[in-house]
Structure formats: structure tokens, C-alpha cells
Structure 1
Amino acid sequence: MNTIKAVVFDLYGTLYDVHSVRTLCERLYPARGDAISRMWRQKQLEYTWMRCLMGQYKDFESATVEALRHTCGSLGLALSPAGEASLCNEYLRLAPFADVPQALQRLRAAGLKTAILSNGSRHSIRQVVENSGLTSSFDHLISVDEVRQFKPHPEVYQLALDTLNLDKADILFVSCNSWDATGAKYFGYPVCWINRSGGVFDELGVSPDLVRRDVGDLAARFPVAGALENVS
């Protein structure tokens, strides 16, 4: 197997905690924060998949707003324009997982290129990364806006090849979302699934090359030379 030259990360749930919005949800809707956060995220994903299948692309911010409105309606919660704006803005200030900053430093110190390939818009990816102070940790921030499709559409995974100008075997794709890891594996990338929750990988005909509990675990056990065959 070729030597890995770049690591391409999913953003939402892999590097950044999508449920860090729970704090504001709880403040605005006491005792409902967790329910809002979880339904909001699930509906957000469903809307990206549905729009991809229907050929009705809207950017990630639109999916986020529409999913929040549906969530509040489903839970019988009143959503004011100010509340909607405040909650959606939290998606631009997501907190990185504690292991992420040092892990990125370690991978880059090993001579690896690092990039994000995300369903987020150009604006949302840039804002999340800037607001967390991690801009210098990435060589590229790649948005699905370029192809107006959402993961796991193959055109999205092609974007990393086009941006990095590398072969598939040179790029390790990393995601906590097993459906995303599955899409990347079918596309032809070596894949690492970040299993933070101790879950079970989706039964869709392929398996990840690596499974790690978090990004820090991946970086700590990654050889300096980047040879994937030496990682177990």
C-alpha cells in the first residue's frame, strides 16, 4: 500500500462537536436541550440526503435552518426569529473535541497534508475553523458547494483528489459518520472511522481500514513515515 501523504477529515462530529449547541438549546428551552440538539442534527442530515437525491441543492446553512424549524415544530416549541438566528449561529461556533488541536499538530509535524472535506458551505467551514483558532492547522478547507452535492455522493469525494492532486491511495479519509466513511471507502479511499461513541459500523458492504476511538488516538498511533500498512 502506498505511503499516506494527506489526511482529509470530515468536520461535523469528527473534528467538531455538533452537540456543543446543546448549551444554548438548553438555555433557550430548559430541559429540552438534548432532545433539540439530537433531532436537529438528525433532520439536518436527512435534509442533505433528500436534497441530494431530489437534485434540489441548497447550502448547509439552509439545511440547518430548515431542520431547526422542523425540530421545534415537532417538539411543540415556539421559535422566534431572534432565537432561530442565535441557534443557527451556534453552528459557526462549534467546539472542537479536546483531542483535536494536538492531534492535528502531530499529523502536520509528521509531514502530512491536512484538509477538511465537509457538507458545510465555504462560509460555514471557514467560520467554524477560524472561531476555534485552528486555521493554521489545515492546508485546505473543501466545501460541497463546489459540486452542489452532499456526501456521500461520489462527486464530493472527488473534490479532495482535485484539490490535493494526489492518488486515492495517498489520502486517508477520516470520519466519525459511518455512512460518510462508507461513501469514502466505496469511492476508493483508505478510511479511518472515528468511533467516539462505541457504536457499530453500518452494514453496507464495506468496512473501514482503521477504527480509532478519537482523532488523538489516530495521531498517536500513526507512524511518522505515514505508511498505513504499519498502522494497526
Structure 2
Amino acid sequence: MAKVCIFDAYGTLFDVAAAARAAADEPGREALQAVWPELAEHWRLKQLQYTWLRTITDDYTPFWEVTKDGLDWAMEKVGLTDDPELRERLLALYWELAPYREVPIMLAQLKAAGKTCAILSNGSKDMLEGAVDSAGIGVFLDAVLSVEDVDIFKPSSEVYDMVGNEFGCAKEDVLFVSSNGWDIAGASGYGFETVWVNRAGDPVDRLPHQPKHVLSDLSTIPELA
């Protein structure tokens, strides 16, 4: 049984499409309403691609800068570059991303069972603090670990090292949960027991290391831990 449950943040605990969806629901956002799903998808993809490229080229910059760069690309892609107010609104909403519906109950169950729970994220510390506070889940977390402390993004092993350094636990004591297949591959290769949260029903990535468990949401995590 796992002693430490580690969660990725964006796309795993927090809905990364929530910012674009919420902005599109606001009055006067007709242009965004027509393209917000496409914008959200492009924004997330570029955000991830830029972390990988910056890791490969040894050119780390905080995740907040990557997030802004990804949004700028996405807005140009969908033809919304002439709306600086919308850009600022989307960035502000990213600090308040809604958690997936099952997250608070799932974390409460883990804590009631005596598990150590933490986030391990590419996110900048202040971004993560904003999201955790907005979601009201800080009471369930023993730590929020950011790659800012090592200046490199996942799936570098230096990031996964942070778990053992923080909690003094062995790799086999960790249940690592992420919605990102590449993150799961990295964590599996590192030696963690992994859970891929596959909300979209996607195929498993063709990478050397596979998830041990595949779930459609987080609700049954306490049964695995």
C-alpha cells in the first residue's frame, strides 16, 4: 500500500480548460464563444511543448512565462490577437482554475485514511498557491512541490527526486497520479507506482514505461492507495 500520494496539478486536479470556458460565458465574449474549445486545446498543447523544448535546450523559465507564451500563440492561431483585455482576463482566470468535481472528496478520503498527499507540478509556486487556495483543497495537502526549486521541468528525474527529498520515502512507497501520459511514463521509469487519469479515453502512449493503473477519473484513487 502506498504511503505517499503525489498528484500532478494541471489537467489532473485542475481543469485546464476552465479558464477559456469561464471567459466564454461572460457577456460580450461572442468571438471567444465560437472558438474557446480550440483555444483551450492549443493553449495547453503549446504550454506543454514549450516546457519540453526548454528542458531539451537547457533554457528553463518559470511556468507562468511558458503559460503566457502558450496563450499568445493560441490566441493568434484562433484569430484573437487584437484583444489584450481578453488575454489579461484569461491569464487571471488561470490562477483560479476549477478542480475536477471529485477532487475534494477524494483528497478528504485519502487524508482520513492517514495518507500523505502532495502536489508535484511544473507550475510556478505562486500559480499553484492561487489554484490550491481557489479550490479550497490546501487543508488536504502536506506539501505543494514546484519545479521552480530545481529549475527544470518534468519528466526530468530531478523533479521526481523532490518527492523522496521532501518526505524521506522510498520510490515504492509512492503512488503517482497524473493525467499526462508523458508524465506517467517518466514517473513509471523513475520507479513510482503510477495511475494515469485518462479522462478522454486516449490510447496509451507508445513509450517504454507504461502506467500500472488507468482510471477515467480520480474517484477511486483511495481504493488503490
TM-score, normalised by the number of residues in structure 1: 0.91
The answer to whether the aligner puts 1:46 opposite 2:49 as a matched pair is yes
| Cα offset, 1:218, TM superposition | 1.8
Instruction: Tell me the amino acid that sits aligned with residue 185 of structure 2.
Output: T
The structural deviation recorded for 1:80 is 3.7
What letter is aligned with 2:172? Answer: A
Segment of structure 1 superposing worse, 204-213 or 104-113: 204-213
Which of 188, 191, 195 matches 2:191?
Answer: 188
What is the CA distance between 1:25 and its match in structure 2?
4.5
Give the corresponding residue for 1:62: 65
Alignment partners' CA distance in 2, 1:51 and 1:79: 28
After superposition, the C-alpha distances for 1:40-78 in whole angstroms (9 at most, x for unaligned) are 110111111111111111111100111111111222222
1:167-187: CA deviations, max 9, x gaps? Answer: 100111000111000000111
Q: Which runs of 5+ in 2 are unaligned?
A: none
Distance (whole Å) between structure 2 residues aligned to residue 61 and residue 80 of structure 1: 20
CA distance in 1, matches of 2:81, 2:197: 36
Alpha-carbon distance in 2 for matches of 1:162, 1:132: 27
Q: Give the letter for the 1:124 counterpart.
A: M
Alignment of 1:43-192 (within 5 A): 43-192=46-195
8 Å Cα contact 1:49-1:150 kept in structure 2: yes
Count of aligned positions:
220
Does the C-alpha gap of structure 1 residues 40 and 69 become closer, same or farther in structure 2, counting only changes over 3 Å?
Answer: same
Q: Is the 8 A contact 1:25 1:37 kept in 2?
A: no
* 2:6 corresponding residue in structure 1: 8
Alignment deviations for residues 173-203 of structure 1 (CA, whole Å, 9 cap, x no partner):
0001110000001111111111111111101
- Separation in 1 of the partners of 2:75 and 2:14? 23
Taking only aligned residues, the RMSD between alpha carbons, in angstroms, comes to 1.3
Matched position secondary structure for 1:78? coil
What is the distance in 2 between the residues matched to 1:131 and 1:55? 32
C-alpha deviation, 1:91, in angstroms = 1.2
**How far did residue 79 of structure 1 move?**
4.1
- Look up the match of 2:201: 198
Structure 1 gap ranges (5+):
227-232
Q: Distance in 1 between matches of 2:149 and 2:136?
A: 24
> CA offset at residue 24 of structure 1?
3.8
Report the identity percentage.
35
DSSP-derived class of the 1:8 partner: strand
Deviation digits for residues 89-131 of structure 1 (CA, Å, limit 9, x no counterpart) = 1111111001111000111111100000000011111110001
Report the residue type matching 2:63 in the other structure: F
User: Residues of 2 paired with 1:71 and 1:207: CA distance?
Assistant: 30
Contact 1:193–1:210 under 8 Å retained in 2? yes
Q: Does the 8 Å CA contact 1:96/1:132 hold for their aligned counterparts?
A: yes
Structure 1 residue 212, shift from structure 2 partner: 1.6
How far apart in 1 are the matches of 2:84 and 2:164?
40
Runs of 4 or more off by more than 4 Å in structure 1?
Answer: none
- Partners of 2:23 and 2:59 lie apart in 1 by 29
**Residues 162, 79 of structure 1: CA spacing in aligned structure 2 closer, same or farther, 3 A cutoff?**
farther
**Deviations 1:141-177, CA, capped at 9 Å, x for gaps:** 0000001101111111111111111010011100011
